Every structure is written in structure tokens, then in C-alpha cells.
């Protein structure tokens, strides 16, 4: 006998010790959505602040390259960020095994495009990791998540330039002006990351590829 209540499928995609990312589908009619909640209770104030910051950016993010936040909800007594689900695979779950050339090129192009879209909004992610990227290996589409540390693009960083050290907060300045060289640099960086990951898979998801963002200027 059915109760008439919607059924829910709940899948944990990733748990990094601070946040748990899950995919939830309520049957029979609702599209899947993503849920991000603190991994510990009570959650640290810094974790709550990151969720609130990501939600505050919702109107500056585009569904073509971001899993856009929808709302902050109370789910089972925990503050949870609900976001759109583009239905891609979390990149970190695909790493640690050889990639064929085709998927590498497609995904690298998609990630570089997603970063370009973010930087085009005058934003820098600052936490670009394989656990914060969803991809479709068949089409190459990519969507960024994890916007809790995202900041506005700093137009000038003279000290960093004098040291000739790219700064993530500077990243994307050239690309905001449609700089094709910047896009090629980012594309190449992502390809190198994906291609060489199997040799360093023991480094785990903490191995960042923020250099892809740093060289987007």
C-alpha cells in the first residue's frame, strides 16, 4: 500500500570531511538537485559562511557552466544548500585511471570554458579542485560547484606582477576581454592535469589544479 508521499533517491557524490555533496531525486516528477551540507554537526561557523556566500552569488552564475545555488534550506536539522543538478559526473570520481585522448580533450575544453564563463562575470573561484567540477565526458560539458571561497576579480596586483608570480585573484583578467591566448593557456593546463593525474593519483583530491585558473590572465 502506498502512502502517496513522494519517494526520494539519495546518492552521496563526495565527502571531503567539511562538506557532503549529494544528488537527490524526488519521484515521480522532480528533476535531480544537488545538496551541499556540512559534514559535521554542529558545523563550524566558517562552513556555514561558505554556504551562505555561495548562495549569495546565485544570480551571477550561469547554468551553462555552473551548478547554480537555488536555496538554503533546513534539512534534518542541518543548514543545506540546494543547487541545480546538470547531471554530470563529479570529476574526482573519474580520476586515477587512464583517459583516452578524446575525453581528455573534450573535458579540458569544457573546464576551460567554465572558468572563462566565471571569469567573464568578474569572479575567481579560488577552490578549483576535481571535487568541485562536474563533467559530461561524452559532450565535454563542465560545470563548476563549490563557490564558498569565490571572490571578485582584482584588477590590479602590482606586487604579484613585479614578482612575476600569477595570483589566483588576478586570474581571468585577460579572458574577460576575450583573450584567446588566455583560453589556450587554461586549456593546456587542464589537459596536462587530466593526462598526468593517473601517475599521481595517490595525491588524492587535495591535488588542486588552480594553476588552470591562475593562467587565465
What does the domain layout of the chain look like in residue ranges? 7-84, 89-214
Q: What pLDDT, on the 0 to 100 scale, is given for residue 204? A: 44
pLDDT in tens, 142-190: 999 999 999 998 764 444 433 333 333 333 333 433 455 555 566 666 7
Compute CA distances 35 → 51, 55, 97, 164, 186, whole Å: 11, 12, 27, 40, 29
Q: Please, what are the averages of pLDDT over each run of 10 residues along the chain (217 residues)?
A: 68 96 86 95 96 98 98 94 96 86 90 93 92 95 97 63 33 41 60 59 46 56
Query: Do 7-84 and 89-214 show the same overall fold?
Result: no
Please state the pTM of the whole predicted model.
Answer: 0.79
Give Cβ neighbours of residue 120 (< 8 Å, ≥ 6 apart): 172, 175, 176
What's the CATH code, domain 7-84? 3.30.200.20
Q: What pLDDT, on the 0 to 100 scale, is given for residue 47? A: 97
Q: What pLDDT, on the 0 to 100 scale, is given for residue 16? A: 93
Q: What pLDDT, on the 0 to 100 scale, is given for residue 44? A: 96
Q: What pLDDT, on the 0 to 100 scale, is given for residue 96? A: 79
Q: Look up the CATH architecture of domain 89-214.
A: Orthogonal Bundle (1.10)
Amino acid at each position: 500500500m502506498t502512502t502517496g508521499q513522494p519517494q526520494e533517491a539519495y546518492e552521496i557524490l563526495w565527502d571531503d570531511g567539511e562538506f557532503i555533496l549529494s544528488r537527490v531525486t524526488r519521484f515521480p516528477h522532480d528533476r535531480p538537485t544537488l545538496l551541499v551540507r556540512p559534514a559535521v554537526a554542529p558545523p563550524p561557523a566558517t562552513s556555514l559562511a561558505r554556504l551562505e556566500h555561495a548562495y549569495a552569488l546565485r544570480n551571477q552564475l550561469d547554468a551553462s557552466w555552473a551548478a547554480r545555488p537555488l536555496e538554503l534550506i533546513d534539512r534534518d536539522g542541518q543548514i543545506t544548500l540546494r543547487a541545480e543538478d546538470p547531471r554530470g559526473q563529479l570529476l574526482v570520481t573519474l580520476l586515477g585511471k587512464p583517459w583516452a585522448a578524446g575525453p581528455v580533450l573534450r573535458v579540458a575544453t569544457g573546464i576551460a570554458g567554465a572558468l572563462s564563463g566565471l571569469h567573464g562575470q568578474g569572479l575567481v573561484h579560488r577552490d578549483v579542485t576535481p571535487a568541485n567540477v562536474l563533467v559530461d565526458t561524452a559532450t565535454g560539458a563542465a560545470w563548476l560547484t563549490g563557490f564558498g571561497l569565490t571572490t571578485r576579480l582584482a584588477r590590479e596586483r602590482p606586487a604579484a606582477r613585479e614578482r612575476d608570480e600569477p595570483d589566483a585573484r588576478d586570474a581571468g583578467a585577460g579572458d574577460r576581454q576575450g583573450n584567446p591566448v588566455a583560453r589556450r593557456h587554461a586549456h593546456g593546463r587542464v589537459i596536462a592535469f587530466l593526462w598526468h593525474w593517473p601517475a599521481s593519483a595517490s595525491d588524492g583530491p587535495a591535488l588542486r589544479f588552480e594553476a588552470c585558473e591562475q593562467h587565465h590572465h
